[in-house]
Amino acid sequence: MAHPGGDPVDPSAHEHEDVRVVAVVVTYNRAELLQDCLDALAAQSRPVDAVVVIDNASTDASGEVADRHPLRADVLHLHLNVGGAGGFASGIARALVDHRADWVWLMDDDTIPRPGALEALLTVERESPLRLSVLSSRAEWIDGRAHPMNLSRTRVGASAREKRAAARSGGHPIRTASYVSVLLRGEDVRRLGLPHPDYFIWSDDFEHTGRLLRRGRGLHVPGSVVEHRTKVFANAQASPGDRFYYDVRNRLWALTRTRSFALWERAMYGGATVRGWARQLVRHPELAPIGLRGLRDALRGGPRPSAEVLAADPEAAEAVGRIDGAAGR
């Protein structure tokens, strides 16, 4: 891959030339942020080996920005907006099938990685005495504060060995991670499958990284920093409006219709989730009917098959089907 100026990258110029890292960016109607994201990817001290951009049927100039950027990204223009979940499933599959990725680096279009973000993740992975499946970055808001939407909590029940390994990098063991800058081992995704496209938004990353980390190991790497440029500095207590439907439905799907979490973890996460919903409903009682719809649909059944969700885009559906089929899903 070339730098923005067009000079070819010398593979011997970095320490991780033996692995292929493919960045996957999902975008929807945020052309200016996407430009900044791709500029930041082009400026990495350890260059990415390829970039996949999933244009989620944008109606602004996002698709053009992706097509014209000097990174020469592999851009897939979807015909239907399938949300972050469908976009990441399509992008990860493309990275694995078309680009033979060893590691997949995921982020939304409002994620702006610092120049050393990828190198820090790979350095920690290389030096870790444990085999790692997932590595997450520190996400900051525009003023440098840790972003409340992307706090990686310490894994409950982590062994002393895991904690020692994490301490070497100043981080901590994790059980789940956000798709706001997370590095996934391609081998493990091939074995365990992709996120569920039907989640649309929210909890797709919770369930998927939970699946990878039920028996795998993950670290939060504070030396890898990205800026998460959300409009406001807000956490889950802000009113999500109609999106509360997905919060309820998808979290229940993740905890009751998958094997991503042990029974005690379902109880732990379920209890914390219900307490959070209760606090939201006290502050925003208008969310009650929206949450009830999510509860109803979660009880009625699980996610639709990926091929059905991605039917408008056969190319994406075929790649997703290849990965999930090989994983027995």
Q: What is the pLDDT of residue 17?
A: 61
Instruction: Find tokens 């890292």 and name the residue.
Output: 21
Q: State which amino acid sits at residue 260.
A: S
**CATH number listed for the domain at residues 11-235+301-326:** 3.90.550.60
Give the tens place of pLDDT for each residue, 7-56: 333 333 344 468 999 999 999 999 999 999 999 999 999 999 999 999 99
Q: What is the pLDDT of residue 5?
A: 37
Give the tens place of pLDDT for each residue, 80-133: 999 999 999 999 999 999 999 999 999 999 999 999 999 999 999 999 999 999
Q: State which amino acid sits at residue 91.
A: G
| Phi, psi (rounded to 5 degrees) for 142 | -65, -20
Residue 320 predicted with pLDDT over 80:
yes
**Strand pairing class (182-185; 134-140):** antiparallel
The ranges assigned to domains in the chain are 11-235+301-326
- The model carries a pTM of 0.92
Q: Please, what is the end-to-end C-alpha distance for the chain in angstroms?
A: 33
Higher pLDDT, 231 or 19: 19
Confidence of residue 1 (pLDDT cuts 50, 70, 90): very low
**SS3 at position 53:** strand
What is the token pair recorded at 235?
């956490």
CB 53 within 8 A of CB 25: yes
pLDDT mean over 145-171:
88
CB 54 within 8 A of CB 15: no
Residue 233 predicted with pLDDT over 80:
no
